[in-house]
Amino acid sequence: DTEVTQTPKHLVMGMTNKKSLKCEQHMGHRAMYWYKQKAKKPPELMFVYSYEKLSINESVPSRFSPECPNSSLLNLHLHALQPEDSALYLCASSQGAGTSGLEQYFGPGTRLTVT
């Protein structure tokens, strides 16, 4: 199984709401990632988890809060977002995070709209 799943597919939320994005993989990968992608732009790295520990935070605002409950699951908790946070949020995984030659497997993404 080389699939990364993400729920929900679409999310519309107000600026005062709290919501969560979920990501799951069953490939035994030990690194998981959150990316933000604006239309027709490349993905921008937000967070990297390696062996369930946060290893990289790309200076992401605190209104985005990642969580890795176990090696298969990755969540992104959202609170008090701004309209400019509207984007496609992609989850990815790879066998590890500490080496260079490993490809990433991406989920289909969650299309987030902040109103």
Partner 1 sequence: AQSVAQPEDQVNVAEGNPLTVKCTYSVSGNPYLFWYVQYPNRGLQFLLKYITGDNLVKGSYGFEAEFNKSQTSFHLKKPSALVSDSALYFCAVRAYTGGFKTIFGAGTRLFVKA
48 is a contact residue toward partner 1 (CB under 8 A): yes
Query: Closer CB to partner 1, residue 13 or residue 102?
Result: 102
Contacts of 48 (CB under 8 A, 6+ apart): 31, 32, 33, 54, 55, 56, 97
Q: Which range, of 14-22, 67-75, 76-84, 98-106, touches partner 1 by CB under 8 A?
A: 98-106
Taking the C-alpha atoms of residue 5 and residue 11, their distance in angstroms, rounded to an integer, is: 15
Residue 103: both structure tokens together = 């490809």
30 is a contact residue toward partner 1 (CB under 8 A): no
Count of C-beta atoms within a 10 Å radius of residue 57? 12
Give min distance, CB of 12 to partner 1, in A: 16
Taking the C-alpha atoms of residue 14 and residue 39, their distance in angstroms, rounded to an integer, is: 21
From 53, 70, 84, 103, residue interacting with partner 1 (rule: CB under 8 A): 103
Q: Contacts with partner 1: how many residues (CB under 8 A)?
A: 27
11 is a contact residue toward partner 1 (CB under 8 A): no
99 is a contact residue toward partner 1 (CB under 8 A): yes
Taking the C-alpha atoms of residue 77 and residue 82, their distance in angstroms, rounded to an integer, is: 14
What residue ranges bind partner 1 (CB under 8 A)?
Answer: 4, 6, 40-43, 45, 48, 55-56, 88, 90, 92, 97-109, 111
